[in-house]
Amino acid sequence: MFYPAYINLQNRKCLVIGGGTVAERKVVSMLISGGDVTVVSPDATELVAFLAEIGSIRWHKRDLIQGDTNGYFLVCAATDFITINSAVFTEAHETNNIRLVNVVDVIPQCTFAAASVVTDGEVMLSISTSGKSPATSRRIREHFEEMLNASSLYTLGYENGKPVSVGDLGLPYPVYLLLNNRKCVVLCDHKTPEIQRRITLLRLCDANVICLSPDEVKSQDFENAFLVISTEKTYLENCLENDSQFIYELLDDQNAGTHFTPNLIIDDDLIVSISAKNGNQICQTEDLFVKLKHLFENNGFGAYINLLGTRRSEVLEAFPTSKMRADFFETLIGHVADTSKTCCLSLTDQNCTAECLFNWVRHGKIDQANTLITNLLNEQRAY
């Protein structure tokens, strides 16, 4: 499981290596969160080039060179070249100790994974399947877009097919942190429900959790820490003055830390998080939270995503390109025995009785679901 965090990117330096469509989405998501964005790439999409031309970002029109990652808060490698992406991770994370580093589609070289995001400019929803089913994440995102009459990062930056300016919407930057065996320090006088909720999440993510009281804490306790959670900013003041590398959450001032933990709906590896731009939307998000909690919790999504995750390696082996894999998962998720019906993943009808993969899994028909996956894979192998 990944740890959901909404990063405060306002005026923080962000670096994107690469200029293709994936890099473009990274740039857009950073800009709407107020990031100070630099792109390094010999070429770029029309939108990235346009944003550089109008001064919204910096674009170094060249290949990566040693030292490019120095001084950044967050780094993302989104090129088509494994060696370049690996070099970015090595320099940024292992040499420069930058905590937030993402190499697209290479989980072992990530400290965070990107979220699938929907926003109407005021409320933000993000979805993660912990890397097990991007296709399911996309389906849920599209449902949210329709439900909120909102936009995803796939549509921001264009109007009528032409690039347009992307501004700071004052929204956080949602990510999912990979905390397996990473040192995470929790600093508190006593374990309030909010602190306990975070400790539970950290442990579910297999983090190395160290709980300390302010009276006993020493500066060396923060050495090599990846993440720190503190109930009060004063407990961390000395460490922050020393330009510590860890990211941190302050429960007494959500905007003063590097990130905060949003409201969450969790069903195993499905995580849906909700945040509002400001206090005016708090009631709106609370109502939405209750609605989505009813829709997603204990409704079979966790088991469904887990099944797709267990078969994912077979799909990766059977299909040589990412497009072929994506097409297969779309076919699989959309498969319904009665071709006159469509699979809605119970998003539009929780009482749906269609004979589809999702309903088989949520009603315990795992063997039937696995047989369908095997048959479709065998058809592909025969082809």
DSSP string, 110-152: -SEEEPEEEE-SSEEEEEE-TTS-HHHHHHHHHHHHHHHT-EE
Q: Is the pLDDT of residue 203 over 70?
A: yes
Check: CB of residue 298 under 8 Å from CB of residue 267.
Answer: yes
**Domain-located, residue 55:** yes
pLDDT category at 234 given cuts 50, 70, 90 is: confident
Residue type, 167: G
pLDDT beyond 60 at 282: no
Which of the pair, 178 or 380, is modelled with greater confidence? 178
pLDDT exceeds 70 at position 146: yes
Question: What Rg, from alpha-carbon coordinates, does the chain have?
Answer: 21
Q: Which has the higher per-residue pLDDT, 161 or 203? A: 203
**Spatial separation of the C-alpha atoms in residues 110 and 75, rounded to whole Å:** 10
Q: Does 39 score more than 90 pLDDT?
A: yes
Please report the sign of the dihedral spanned by the C-alpha atoms of residue 210, residue 212, residue 216, residue 219: positive
Query: Within this chain, do residues 192 and 151 fall inside the same structural domain, yes or no?
Result: no
Residues 328 and 314 in one domain: yes
| CB-based contact 104:22 (threshold 8 Å) | yes
Instruction: Report the number of distinct structural domains present in the chain.
Output: 3
pLDDT for 188 equals 92
Evaluated on CA atoms 317, 321, 325, 331, the torsion sign reads negative
For residue 329, is it within any domain?
yes
Tens-place pLDDT, residues 294-337? 889 888 999 999 999 999 888 888 887 767 888 888 888 888 88
Same domain, 170 and 237: no
Of 160, 175, 190, the one marking the end of a domain is: 175
> Which residues does residue 210 pair with via DSSP β-bridges, in sequence order?
185
The percent of residues in the chain predicted with pLDDT above 90, rounded, is: 51
Q: Which pLDDT belongs to residue 283?
A: 59
| Residue scoring higher pLDDT (276 or 284) | 276
Find the domain containing 222 and state its range: 179-260
**Are 147 and 27 members of one domain?**
yes
Q: What is the CATH number of the domain that holds 27?
A: 3.40.50.720
Residue 352's pLDDT band, with cuts at 50, 70 and 90, is confident
Asked if residue 325 and residue 247 are part of one domain, the reply reads no
- pLDDT score of 280 more than 50: no
User: Does the pLDDT of residue 342 top 80, yes or no?
Assistant: no
Contact assessment for residue 164 and residue 358, using Cβ atoms and an 8 Å cutoff: no
pLDDT value at 115 more than 90: no
Please name the residues in contact with 269: beta carbons below 8 A apart, sequence gap of 6 or more.
1, 128, 129, 130, 132, 302, 305, 306, 309
Distance CA 211, CA 192 (A): 13
> Would you say residue 292 lies in a domain?
no
Of the candidates 145, 175, 205, which is a domain's last residue? 175
Structure confidence at residue 152 (pLDDT): 67
Residue 116 to residue 137: CA distance in whole angstroms: 7
On whether residue 295 sits in a domain, the answer given is no
For 67-99, write each residue's pLDDT tens digit.
Answer: 999 999 999 999 988 899 999 999 999 999 999
182 vs 330, more confident? 182
Helices 301-318 and 322-334 cross at an angle (nearest 10°) of 140
Same domain for 10 and 104, yes or no, is yes
The verdict on residue 290 lying in a domain is no
Which tokens sit at 32?
A: 């709407």
Residue 362 lies in a domain: yes
Q: Concatenated DSSP letters for 190-215?
A: S--HHHHHHHHHHHHTT-EEEEE-TT
Q: Does some domain include residue 168?
A: yes
Q: Report, as an integer, the average pLDDT of 122-144.
A: 86
The structure's pTM equals 0.83
Q: Phi and psi at residue 210, in whole multiples of 5°? A: -120, 115
Q: Cβ atoms within 10 A of the Cβ of 77, count?
A: 29
* Pair 137, 47 in one domain: yes
On whether both 170 and 194 belong to a single domain, the answer is: no
Lookup: tokens for 212: 């300390």
Residue 150 belongs to a domain: yes
